[in-house]
Amino acid sequence: MLKQTCFAFSKNVTILPIPYFLQIRNFHYKRRKKVRIPKPKPPMNLPTDPDFYAGRTGLIRFEEYYHNTLAEDLMVMTYRHKTKEMIKAEVEERARQLQAADEAAAAALENPYLKNRPTPPPRGKKSIKPKRPSSSVKTIPQLDKIDLHCMVKESLQRKEALLNGIMALYSITSELPTVVYSKHGVANWKLRPGKQICVEMMQFILFFFLENLTFDLPKGMPIACKVSLKGAAMYAFLDKLIEIVLPRTREWHGLPANAGKDGNIAFGLPSQAVPLFLDIEINYEMYPIIPGFDVVFNTTAYTNPEGRLLLSGFQIPFQSAQKR
């Protein structure tokens, strides 16, 4: 038993027992060691595990070719050296354009016809392009993504016909396409548009009158499907297209010499060229209808010549200007 000492201050004060070991100076209380529970080890990525993921088993040839060879060549061919005089001239030209715009705006305010009227939109249909940055490693053009779009006209009469295009794109790219619905109507094609409903007005009505009612906007008719490819899937499709399909396509002399819009280049594959893909050729009899599809190369190039130069580096042929 522990010895106890008592301190009595008066008769009205209660006596508080104090343990004996608290009176000893320099006493070190030993804490109990915490029991450490071992953390479970992460599951090993073995083929026998149910959650096994193989991942990339090898290098993609076109991706390795771009980073090791093509990027350096594009850097040299698209480099534009700017001297101090050229930069100064560009700044002066930009200041001159801004001054002319300010003078035109000031003249418009003094025009009595334009008073109390909304400002007219800028003339022309060309979109405003961003200013081209100086040439560096970050401005080397490269492929961003590849979009495939397939439209099946037979789906206007039978919705089941769209499955041919969906399964064709799925077999070629290994990516599940998304269905595209019509937004506008065409009387000659008997195309029904999706009903345009003012969402804000419907929300106002539902909030005050039909609080417990939910609704979905009616869609148009399913007429097409599309899929976007990035990364490994993009280079895998590019390998199939360049090495197998394009060399076997009849009466195809290459892309036009002036192809491109804002650095992006598109072309169409006819229905006769789609069976040239090995994924379609081995199961050719399973497709009642094999539609063609459009291929859009989205690049980071700022100009059309840079976009064509990038695709020509991947051995995609272009027609010469003399043939056109």
DSSP lists the bridge partners of residue 295 as 148, 267
Rg of the Cα atoms in the chain:
36
Domains of the chain (ranges; CATH) run 141-185+223-313 (3.30.1440.10), 186-220 (no CATH)
CB-count burial class (<10 Å; 0-12, 13-18, 19+) for 137 = exposed
- Write the DSSP symbol of residue 44: P
Q: What is the pLDDT of residue 127?
A: 62
pLDDT digits (tens, 9 = 90+) for 263-308: 899 999 998 899 999 989 888 888 888 899 999 999 999 888 899 9
CB-based contact 273:300 (threshold 8 Å): no
Whether 143 has a pLDDT exceeding 90, the answer reads yes
pLDDT digits (tens, 9 = 90+) for 151-191: 888 888 888 888 899 999 999 998 999 998 877 766 666 66
The Cα 65–Cα 269 span in angstroms is 25
pLDDT digits (tens, 9 = 90+) for 186-245: 666 666 665 544 444 445 444 444 444 444 445 677 888 999 999 889 999 999 999 999
Whether 150 has a pLDDT exceeding 80, the answer reads yes
Q: Could you tell me which residue, 163 or 112, shows the higher pLDDT?
A: 163
Q: What is the pLDDT of residue 5?
A: 44
pLDDT digits (tens, 9 = 90+) for 12-69: 545 545 454 444 444 455 566 666 777 766 666 677 777 776 777 777 889 999 999 9
Whether 100 has a pLDDT exceeding 70, the answer reads yes
DSSP 216-282: -PPP--EEEEEEEE-THHHHHHHHHIIIIIHHH-TT---B-TT--BTTBEEEEE-TTTGGGSHHHHT
Q: What is the pLDDT of residue 144?
A: 93
